[in-house]
Amino acid sequence: MSDAAFAEDTLAFDCAGDRLLGIVSCPAPGANALATGSAAQDLGVVIVVGGPQYRAGSHRGFVLLARHLASLGLTVLRFDVRGMGDSEGALHDFQAVDADVDAAIAALLRHSPQLRRVALWGLCDGASAALLYLQRQPDPRVAALCLLNPWVRSAETLAKTHVKHYYRQRLQQPEFWRKLFSGQVAGKALAGLLSNLRLAFSRPTGHAEAASTGIEPQAPFPRRMAEAYAAFGGPSLLMLSERDHTAQEFTEHSRTDATWQLALARRPPQRVLLAGADHTCSQPTTQQAMEAATGQFLAALAGAPPTTLAR
């Protein structure tokens, strides 16, 4: 990617009395633009950073993504939520960063007045935070979602993933059974298998409490994510890493959970499987594949063919 393809500014803005810091990556004057029409000119991107990490991302992944998108003609903000990186305030759980996301969108639109709408991009619990933000306060400024390996972790989803992707493979190995019957399988390993099987086929937590008290508890956050996804009116990109337990958990959960089944059937996302990728797309080839998928999705949203630039 040519250094002349993008420019960057620091951006400080307020969130509930705390000062947050972000970096805006934007097309350099005269650089190759995504499109010349108003549809492209009014679209920005806000990267919702999950925790605990700051605006650079693992392996500088968010830096590379923002600069790639800027080189295609998009304006991108990556920022530190309260209590992380260079931002002030107390650290908040990913389920409680609505004010941060809202402030970031407003700050980007103020910084770049030509923008009228944004796409929210998130990895892991950053993707979850983006959906939870929309579940609590639908935002007409948000035009699209880019979700990478969304976090839907619970004891049950983790157990199901272990059973399907680890224990099933182990149980098919003759060596495992030889060790089991010869007493070479440690008691801790066998207890782990039984515990995961019990959790994998148990009812989700919260049902027993509701039945005993007669009071419906707050819906688990994965269900609230699904409700937000079903209600969202814009297009969405769902990217899943091939070699990632979080992605496997999401696939398993969304395949078996009725709320997610309905949401995805109602609004099918553009799905991309990132071959060979781990959770953070740490290898250059998988990082580039993720960047390309995001760029192509947003280019189509802007109504223009994707632009390919040398890195």
Please give the model's pTM, rounded to 2 decimal places: 0.80
Average pLDDT over residues 156-166: 51
Predicted local confidence at residue 178, as pLDDT: 62
Tokens read off for 206:
């919260």
Q: Is the peptide bond before 52 cis (omega within 30 degrees of 0)?
A: yes
Predicted local confidence at residue 37, as pLDDT: 45
Q: Is the pLDDT of residue 286 over 70?
A: yes
Predicted local confidence at residue 311, as pLDDT: 43
CA nearest to 50, candidates 280, 240, 282:
280
Q: Which residues pair with 78 in a beta bridge?
A: 23, 47
Check residues 58 and 164 and name the one with the higher pLDDT: 58
Choice among 212-221, 225-234, 239-248, 258-267 with the minimum mean pLDDT: 212-221
Choice among 58-72, 169-183, 194-208, 248-262 with the minimum mean pLDDT: 194-208
Average pLDDT over residues 212-240: 84
Check residues 85 and 190 and name the one with the higher pLDDT: 85
Predicted local confidence at residue 143, as pLDDT: 97
Contact 141, 119 (CB under 8 A): no
Predicted local confidence at residue 211, as pLDDT: 36
Confidence band, pLDDT 50/70/90 cuts, at residue 180: low
Predicted local confidence at residue 260, as pLDDT: 97
Q: Is the pLDDT of residue 153 over 90?
A: no
Q: Is the pLDDT of residue 210 over 50?
A: no
Q: Which residues pair with 182 in a beta bridge?
A: none
Predicted local confidence at residue 301, as pLDDT: 85
For the chain, the average pLDDT equals 83
Distances (CA, A) of 68 to 89, 97, 297, 310: 30, 26, 13, 10
Average pLDDT over residues 227-241: 97
Residue % of the chain over a pLDDT of 70: 72
